[in-house]
Chains A and B, each alone.
Chain A
Amino acid sequence: MNDNDILIRLRHLMKQSSQAKVDWEAVRTDSTIASLGFDSLTILDLVYDIQQEFRVEFEAEKLAGVRTVGDLIAFLKSCMGGAPGEKSAPRC
């Protein structure tokens, strides 16, 4: 899965989770997460939706260093590189 595929899927998930009025098609890899209108509650839903969509598991605290959508894509790619043949969701 390349960066653009992940970006497209993230846009859809973010639109679903955020209750803010944002032009989601304009979201790029350099867009900051803070500019997308998530609050302490809706960010939890986004984390959940990402875990379900990409079949990965991680604690929300792991996102502390994630500032932009590009950072999030890089983080997810690192999570998805779990051990080959692993049956349960990769944890990172």
Chain B
Amino acid sequence: MNESARRVVVTGTGLITPLGSDEETVWTAMMQKRCGIRRLTLVNPSDYKTPIGGEVETDAINAILRQVGVEPVGDRTVDMALAAAGAALRAAGLSESSKVMAPPPIPVIFGTGIGASHSLYHAFESFFQKGVRGLRPTSVPRCMANAISAQISITFRLTGANYVIVSACTSSTTAAGVAFRMIRDGYAECVLCGGADAVFDPFVYAGWNNLGVMSKNPDPLSACRPFDSRRDGCVLGEGAGALVIESLHHAMARGARIRGEILGYGESSDASHITSPSVEGQALAIRDAMSSAGIVPEQIGFINAHGTATRANDECESKSILAALGPAAASIPAASNKSFFGHLLGASGVVESIVTLIGLERGIMPPNLNLDDPDPSCNLCFVRGEATKVKSPVAMKNSFGFGGNNAVLILRAWEETSERQRHSY
């Protein structure tokens, strides 16, 4: 790590998930081992091989938007992103209603796998039904992928750069990583980063349905089983997450409550296949993250795995963790949050990072649901059955995506939290 690099801390979080839309609700549900996956209502479930998923309550999105004083723009992805962003800014003490009070320009870096999917669906539907004249004049600004970051920037008057990172399931982890580097390297003092995806429109969901990577188990509570020998594919979900991250200096100067620290970020490309993961590529990203954080494997106290529950991902990820961490991996507790709310695609990385930060604060991590019989080819130290104490205040969050994208964050509990819990590590 560059000796002159600045420390980067998290001071605000916002969550929109199938388990709830505030930290306490989501955390309590996870500690009680409740699953947010259910029979789909946003699409006709009988049309699909996987009739279940992690849907967000539309009323919950609108309730958060009202709380943060924002009108919905009418696209599900953008509205969830706006809600998460508003909640994170408010939690960081940076906004009252929709008026941001921080003086420096704040960039908005968000990730998405698909973009404004529902707007795109309606645009295509109108075009194919009515032709050129049937297309809404504002289709371009509604459908462009950067509508997410642009609407957040406009709504909250955030005048730093805004753009969207599209890298499949690593999108929001990469967004957080880019934001981390912007601060660490002195290009910004404070960044709003995150991700959002809304997969349950008839077209996008059909694409996933036909791809052959989703579970065919119709039981919502047992279908998603990362690392289990009986896993048969992923279950999708929708949601959004946002983080306000700042330089330590900036956070302390304004008296912000520090929730955790981003120690490092690593990334790589498999450069081999569009959907099949690679041990070498993933291990490269994990090593890159540890190097960025200036840590060795023995310092990692918890692994929040990508853990999609596909046959290929879970085996490959287990091998890449073992390859990168060596013998230390055998005793580091590992879990995937996807059994709780499904795979949130471009939002998964940031939502799971927030869960990790909450866990680091409390010194305990949620288990894997449905991990009844760990697959022998996934030879990690899994959290099974019950929540477990973390070994140290440092955690690794993995995200891997189609396209051979690999992104890894290293997170640490804030020092005061670590000090308070030192005896329990």
Instruction: Give the interface of A toward B (CB within 8 A).
Output: 16, 19, 21, 41-42, 44-45, 47-48, 57
Please determine whether B137 and A45 come into contact, CB atoms closer than 8 angstroms: yes
| Chain A residue contacts of B74, Cβ below 8 A | 16
Task: Kindly identify which residue among B71, B133, B138 contacts A45, using a CB–CB cutoff of 8 Å.
Answer: B138
Contact across chains for B71 and A47 when beta carbons are under 8 A apart? no
Q: Is the CB of A47 within 8 A of B133?
A: no
Q: How far is the CB of B97 from chain A (nearest CB, A)?
A: 12
Tell me if B273 is interfacial: C-beta within 8 Å of chain A. no
What distance in Å separates the Cβ of B355 from its nearest Cβ neighbour in chain A? 34
Tally of contact residues, B, Cβ under 8 A: 8
Chain B proximity of A87: nearest CB distance (Å): 14
Instruction: Answer yes or no: B249 CB below 8 A from chain A CBs.
Output: no
List the B side residues contacting A41 at CB < 8 Å. Answer: 137-138, 141
- Given A19-B71, A41-B138, A41-B141, 15 new contacts (CB under 8 A): A16-B74, A19-B73, A21-B71, A41-B137, A42-B138, A44-B137, A44-B138, A45-B136, A45-B137, A45-B138, A47-B137, A48-B136, A48-B137, A48-B138, A57-B133
> Chain B's interface: helix, strand, loop or mixed, by majority?
loop
Q: How far is the CA of A19 from the CA of B142 in the complex (A)?
A: 13
A5–chain B nearest beta-carbon distance, Å? 24
Give A51's nearest chain B residue, CB to CB.
B133
Q: Which residue of A lies closest to B133 (CB)?
A: A57
The chain B residues found within 8 Å of chain A, CB to CB, are 71, 73-74, 133, 136-138, 141
A21 to B136, CA, bound (A): 22
18 A-B pairs in the complex with CB atoms less than 8 angstroms apart: A16-B74, A19-B71, A19-B73, A21-B71, A41-B137, A41-B138, A41-B141, A42-B138, A44-B137, A44-B138, A45-B136, A45-B137, A45-B138, A47-B137, A48-B136, A48-B137, A48-B138, A57-B133
CB-CB nearest in chain A for B134:
A52
> What are the residues of chain B within 8 A of A57 when measuring CB–CB?
133
Separation of A21 and B74 alpha carbons in the complex (Å): 15
Assembly CA distance A19 to B136 (angstroms) = 16
For the complex, give the distance between the alpha carbons of A48 and B139 in Å.
11
| Distance of A42 Cα from B74 Cα, bound (Å) | 13
Chain A residue contacts of B73, Cβ below 8 A: 19
Closest approach, in angstroms, between the C-beta of A89 and any C-beta of chain B?
9
Contacts of A16 in B (CB 8 A): 74
Q: How far in angstroms is the closest Cβ of chain B from A65?
A: 21
Nearest CB of chain B from residue A28's CB, rounded to whole Å: 23
5 residue pairs, one from A and one from B, having the closest CB atoms: A44-B137, A45-B138, A48-B136, A48-B137, A41-B138
Question: Who on chain B is nearest to A18 by CB?
Answer: B71
